[in-house]
């Protein structure tokens, strides 16, 4: 099967300015994804979709092909799915058919080779899309609460079950951005990965960190230092 790897990295970010260029483990976040992608596909089959000239420069420095996208695909309200469709259509037009779409977002620099391998292997004839996830540490039926109109916190509806231990609640998972795997034809025909048959691959929490804040960045750097390795791509 022919796999094309994509990294979607827009320039704007309200939570963390220039997020995709922030350095963790001595490399910009976007570079981590490019380096990982090159372990699975030929060098000319790694694409970085971006609206940022700075990100494009870093992508090319690490050997990726750049897909330029306009402001309509890069604003705060832009859909990631639309960026996927744009990139897939462009590659199909310029490079011809391919079988597997692999997306490695920059926000998961702690991913390991095994995690991506497992995601790729999970795509089968009964699956339209593969997502990665980590075991959730909190349950909406036990220790996640919401405010009421009276300003009093309450747990989510329990469906008649009076849970007294979190361990007894149904297993839940947090989606993470370690990898997304699907078929180009599915992306072109649909508007969401949830339109199809989705399979989840579990990733250890220490490799599934999804960077969305300065605290996440600090934690990612801490994990790199604590585990004593710069090159997580060796895993």
How far is the CA of 104 from the CAs of 55, 172, 181, 216, 225, in angstroms?
15, 23, 9, 18, 22
Residues facing 159 on adjacent strands: none
- Beta strand pairing status for 198-202 and 129-135? parallel
On the question of pLDDT at 219 being above 70, the answer is yes
Q: Which of 94, 33, 102, 41 is nearest to 62 (CA)?
A: 33
d(CA 197, CA 224): 35
Name, of 78-92, 133-147, 154-168, the range with top average pLDDT.
78-92
| Strand pairing category for 153-155 and 65-68 | unpaired
Q: 171 or 37: whose pLDDT is higher? A: 37
What pLDDT shows up at residue 71? 78
Taking the C-alpha atoms of residue 203 and residue 207, their distance in angstroms, rounded to an integer, is 7
Quick one: how far is CA 193 from the chain centroid? Answer: 13
Task: Give per-residue pLDDT as tens, 156-214.
Answer: 666 666 666 767 777 888 899 999 999 999 999 999 989 999 999 999 988 998 998 88
Residue 233: predicted pLDDT? 45
* Residue 181, pLDDT score: 97
What is the reported pLDDT for 229? 53
Distances (CA, A) of 216 to 53, 137, 172, 223: 25, 16, 21, 10
Residue 152 has a pLDDT of 65
pLDDT digits (tens, 9 = 90+) for 92-124: 999 999 999 999 999 999 999 999 999 999 999
Give the pLDDT of residue 206: 86
Query: H-type helices in the chain, by residue range?
Result: 29-37, 53-61, 80-95, 113-122, 184-189, 214-226
- Nearest Cα neighbor of 96 from 198, 4, 161 is 4
The tens digit of pLDDT for each residue in 42-81 reads 888 999 999 899 999 999 999 999 999 887 777 767 788 9
What is the C-alpha to C-alpha distance for residues 38 and 163, in angstroms, rounded to an integer? 46
Distance CA 180, CA 224 (A): 23
Q: Looking at residue 232, what is its pLDDT?
A: 46
Q: Using 50, 70 and 90 to split pLDDT, how confident is the model at 228?
A: low
């Amino acid at each position: 099967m022919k796999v094309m790897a994509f990294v979607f990295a827009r320039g704007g970010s309200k939570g963390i300015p220039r997020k995709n260029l922030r350095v963790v483990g001595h490399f910009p976040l976007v570079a981590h994804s490019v380096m990982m992608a090159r372990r699975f596909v030929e060098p000319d089959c790694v694409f970085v979709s971006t609206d940022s000239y700075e990100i494009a420069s870093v992508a090319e420095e690490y050997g990726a092909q750049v897909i330029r996208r306009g402001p309509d695909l890069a604003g705060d309200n832009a859909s990631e799915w639309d960026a996927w469709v744009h990139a897939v259509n462009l590659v199909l037009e310029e490079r011809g058919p391919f079988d597997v779409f692999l997306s490695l977002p920059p926000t998961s620099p702690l991913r390991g080779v095994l995690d991506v391998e497992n995601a790729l292997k999970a795509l089968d004839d009964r699956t339209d899309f593969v997502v990665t996830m980590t075991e959730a540490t909190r349950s909406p039926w036990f220790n996640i609460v919401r405010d009421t109109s009276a300003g009093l916190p309450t747990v989510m509806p329990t469906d008649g079950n009076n849970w007294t231990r979190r361990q007894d609640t149904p297993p839940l998972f947090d989606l993470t951005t370690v990898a997304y795997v699907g078929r180009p034809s599915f992306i072109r025909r649909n508007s969401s990965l949830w339109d199809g048959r989705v399979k989840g691959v579990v990733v250890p929490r220490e490799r599934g960190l999804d960077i969305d804040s300065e605290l996440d960045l600090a934690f990612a750097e801490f994990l790199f230092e604590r585990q004593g390795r710069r090159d997580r791509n060796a895993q």
